[in-house]
């Protein structure tokens, strides 16, 4: 029998204060960070039903206002007001106001979470933190309320699957494309309650920002968590802001995996997810020419500076034929984009710029489509009604494809649009 351990087994053993755990074990885990956002007021009401007088470990709690910012309605404004009061009452350590950005991006920039640590978030895309080699898992509001009360949560250690990436991405093909291809190949439930652990030389050539896309998208794969092995690039990204020491974790060479899959990324071309599932994936050429009425660039998946640069490279000197909404993932991204002249490129091309946050990704505001309209989006989900209108269609793509499609008013290949 193998004595090797997967990343998930090592990370959860650490978080549970145990010497060793195996997939399938039931353990009590004390996460390093507990994340919530605009849903914090609802979690508070559940928390109060527990009878706990105060949050057990407020220094581990992080709350970001990001899902509907600035508040689009009185109801949203009241929700935000209740959260601010709760933060004050409880002495919550990490609180980020409207405009700071999307929770997963902000906590990454602020190094609130570190390699080898565990974060549970009341948001399904908490898998995001696998980019740095952390164990990130989404949980429900009731579970988060219990965490606030006790600091611990019962967890079953997930089985792991290993996905090996080989080769180097071709020009204009991105981490979003390889993530979509995996969903297309393996299905939206292919990683259900698994620790999806990436390996291979295909990771090495990816920038830190590109690596963030992959575990974020694994939420659409059903993953409990996702993991990329951290390296010096990751450590350098975190170093300016970290406030404590950490120990990166790596799976053993003889770890046991429930499944394995290999993808040669050098053979990829741009990919598109068709409505209304993120695993209805085809090569861009199969849907090129589909008319679109809106192009949306942003979200926790593809709203970083690297993504804005790619879109600006396509848009520079051109003008959009459909409306385009650009929302940076954080205030830091927005500021950097302004300094680099990218905001000027977007405005001159006819795009609208939004406050850092989630925007129309889940249909709150700042770009909701009309019935019958088609949106091409850099987001992670395209379920019916995801952007607020059940009678509209959403296609998922990379930032460059979103920009090229905005220029053409139909799904288009950036390789055919960019001016030399």
Are 160 and 7 a contacting pair, CB within 8 Å?
yes
Q: Mean of the pLDDT values across residues 27-55? A: 96
Q: Mean of the pLDDT values across residues 292-299? A: 98
Mean pLDDT over the full length of the chain: 96
Sign of the Cα torsion 394, 400, 404, 407 reads positive
Q: What are the sequence ranges of the domains in the chain?
A: 26-263, 274-416
Res. 250: pLDDT tops 80: yes
Q: Which CATH architecture has domain 274-416?
A: 2-Layer Sandwich (3.30)
Res. 156 pLDDT band, cuts 50 70 90: very high
DSSP 294: E
- Widest pairwise Cα distance in the chain: 65
Cis peptide bond N-terminal to 12, omega within 30 = no
Tens digit of pLDDT for each residue in 364-381?
Answer: 899 999 999 999 999 999
Which residues face 162 on adjacent strands? 197, 260
Res. 95 pLDDT band, cuts 50 70 90: very high
pLDDT of residue 213: 98
pLDDT of residue 387: 87
Q: Which CATH architecture has domain 26-263?
A: 2-Layer Sandwich (3.30)
**Which of 72, 70, 76 lies closest to 98, judged by CA?**
70
Q: What is the pTM of this model?
A: 0.95
Shared fold status for 26-263 and 274-416: yes
Q: Which two tokens stand for residue 50?
A: 């527990």
DSSP 98: T
Res. 162: pLDDT tops 70: yes
Res. 83: pLDDT tops 80: yes
pLDDT of residue 2: 61
């Amino acid at each position: 029998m193998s004595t090797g351990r997967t990343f998930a087994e090592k990370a959860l053993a650490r978080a549970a204060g145990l010497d060793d755990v195996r997939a399938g074990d039931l353990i009590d885990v004390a996460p390093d960070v507990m994340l919530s956002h605009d849903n914090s007021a609802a979690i508070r009401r559940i928390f109060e039903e527990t009878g706990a007088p105060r949050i057990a470990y407020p220094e581990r709690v992080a709350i970001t206002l990001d899902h509907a910012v600035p508040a689009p309605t009185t109801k949203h404004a009241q929700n935000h007001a209740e959260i601010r009061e709760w933060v004050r009452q409880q002495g919550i350590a990490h609180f980020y106001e409207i405009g700071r950005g999307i929770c997963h991006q902000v906590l990454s920039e602020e190094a609130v979470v570190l390699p080898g640590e565990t974060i549970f978030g009341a948001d399904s895309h908490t898998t995001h933190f696998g980019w740095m080699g952390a164990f990130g898992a989404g949980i429900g509001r009731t579970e988060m309320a219990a965490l606030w009360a006790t600091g611990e949560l019962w967890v079953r250690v997930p089985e792991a699957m290993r996905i090996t990436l080989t080769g180097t991405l071709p020009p204009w093909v991105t981490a979003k494309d390889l993530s979509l291809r995996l969903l297309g190949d393996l299905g939206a439930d292919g990683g259900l309650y698994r620790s999806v652990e990436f390996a291979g030389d295909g990771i090495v050539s990816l920038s830190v920002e590109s690596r963030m896309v992959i575990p974020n998208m694994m939420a659409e794969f059903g993953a409990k968590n996702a993991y990329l092995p951290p390296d010096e690039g990751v450590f350098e990204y975190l170093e300016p802001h970290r406030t404590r020491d950490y120990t990166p974790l790596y799976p053993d060479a003889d770890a046991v995996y429930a499944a394995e899959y290999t993808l040669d990324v050098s053979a990829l071309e741009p990919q598109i997810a068709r409505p209304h599932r993120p695993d209805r994936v085809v090569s861009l050429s199969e849907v090129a020419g589909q008319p679109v009425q809106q192009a949306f660039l942003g979200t926790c998946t593809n709203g970083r500076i690297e993504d804005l640069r790619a879109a600006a490279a396509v848009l520079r000197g051109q003008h959009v034929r459909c409306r385009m909404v650009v929302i940076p993932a954080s205030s830091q991204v927005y500021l950097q984009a302004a300094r680099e002249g990218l905001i000027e490129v977007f405005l001159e091309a006819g795009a609208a710029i939004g406050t850092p946050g989630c925007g129309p990704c889940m249909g709150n505001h700042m770009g909701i489509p009309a019935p019958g309209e088609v949106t091409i989006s850099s987001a992670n989900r395209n379920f019916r009604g995801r952007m607020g209108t059940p009678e509209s269609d959403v296609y998922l793509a990379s930032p460059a494809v979103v920009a090229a499609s905005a220029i053409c008013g139909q799904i288009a290949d950036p390789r055919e649009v960019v001016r030399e």
